[in-house]
Copies of this chain bind each other. A is one copy, B any other.
């Protein structure tokens, strides 16, 4: 084969507080040809997700952290260029974890073939991908909402939160979102159909939140942690459930926010459970077809923030951590 020049974004240094562009470096490499059982893929889109922030710290966590000089991890969709794997052929569209780079080589069994007649390719990084499955699992398996219960979700216009709220509406729940700014809140109520959405940047956020949950909170799907978690704890109903999915508000704090309303968990016999969707790979095959069907039918809506070009991935990632994205953040690579 002819040599293919690859471009990668590697971790150049570990962030102290906020991530900066200088924490990343763009490098050029020459691609190895695929071995037996391997596939060469040209990545079309890269997914940017909050969990990546944790991987930048040299801290023991549920997954290995990225070493300095190593390519940043990330989910991708793309097109097969060469295949030494029986299940895939050139031209096939696939999703996998091929990192922040233009091309990737991996074992064919690590890729999943997708088709784009009903949903566009990039959606396999969002609503019919990891964020969608995360939303479904956390809401249904941990939140276990019943019709007419009140479900609250933070980062409500985001890749996960937007799906959580729409699924809860389909179950007949009262759904209250929390998001940053009027534009996002308008989208959450008008396009996604939540019953209410409260702007956490508004000076009367606390009163507005209280007013939006006259019957208290039965399920909280938490993407942010910190002060908003504390606020929701104060309004729990008996036997309420909290799915702890993310702590994006805490990544850049030198000192994490101290949660004061723990007593509410006792008094209300509440259950709080952290989860990581990669622990539940056995559920993906059950969940994804449901999401694909709902998207194809127009029952689940979504939107994307698309950054153009690999070199703009760091800036887009930093923007996402600050809430500057609007919907699922992806990077268009080709």
Contact = CB atoms under 8 A, between A and B. Distances in A.
A42 B128 CA distance: 67
Contacts of A269: 62, 273-276, 279
Nearest to A60: B267
Contact of A274 (B62, B245, B267): B267
Given A62-B238, A238-B62, A272-B273, A262 B267 contact: no
A300 interface: no
Contacts of A255: 260
A265 B270 contact: no
A244 interface: yes
How many copies make up the complex? 2
Contacts of A245: 266
B238 A266 contact: no
Nearest to A265: B274
A261 B257 CA distance: 9
Contacts of A5: none
| Nearest 9 pairs of A and B residues by beta carbon | A258-B258, A266-B274, A259-B259, A265-B274, A271-B273, A272-B272, A256-B260, A269-B274, A244-B266
A265 B260 CA distance: 16
A49 B298 CA distance: 56
Given A245-B266, A266-B275, 15 more contacts: A61-B267, A62-B269, A225-B262, A244-B266, A247-B262, A247-B263, A247-B266, A256-B261, A258-B259, A259-B260, A265-B273, A266-B274, A269-B274, A269-B275, A271-B272
Interface string A278-296: 0100000000000000000
A229 interface: yes
Contacts of A257: 258, 260
A250 interface: yes
A62 B270 contact: no
A54 B245 CA distance: 31
Contacts of A276: 266, 269
Contacts of A263: 225, 247, 250, 256
A329 to B, nearest CB: 20
A96 interface: no
Interface in A40-83: 54, 61-62
A129 interface: no
Nearest to A276: B269
A260 B246 CA distance: 15
B229 A262 contact: yes
A65 B269 CA distance: 17
Contacts of A256: 260-263
Interface string A6-32: 000000000000000000000000000
A268 interface: yes
Interface in A140-156: none
A265 B271 CA distance: 12
Given A62-B238, A258-B258, A266 B279 contact: no
19 contacts: A62-B267, A225-B262, A225-B263, A245-B266, A246-B266, A250-B262, A256-B261, A256-B262, A258-B260, A259-B259, A259-B262, A266-B275, A266-B276, A269-B273, A269-B274, A269-B275, A269-B276, A270-B274, A272-B272
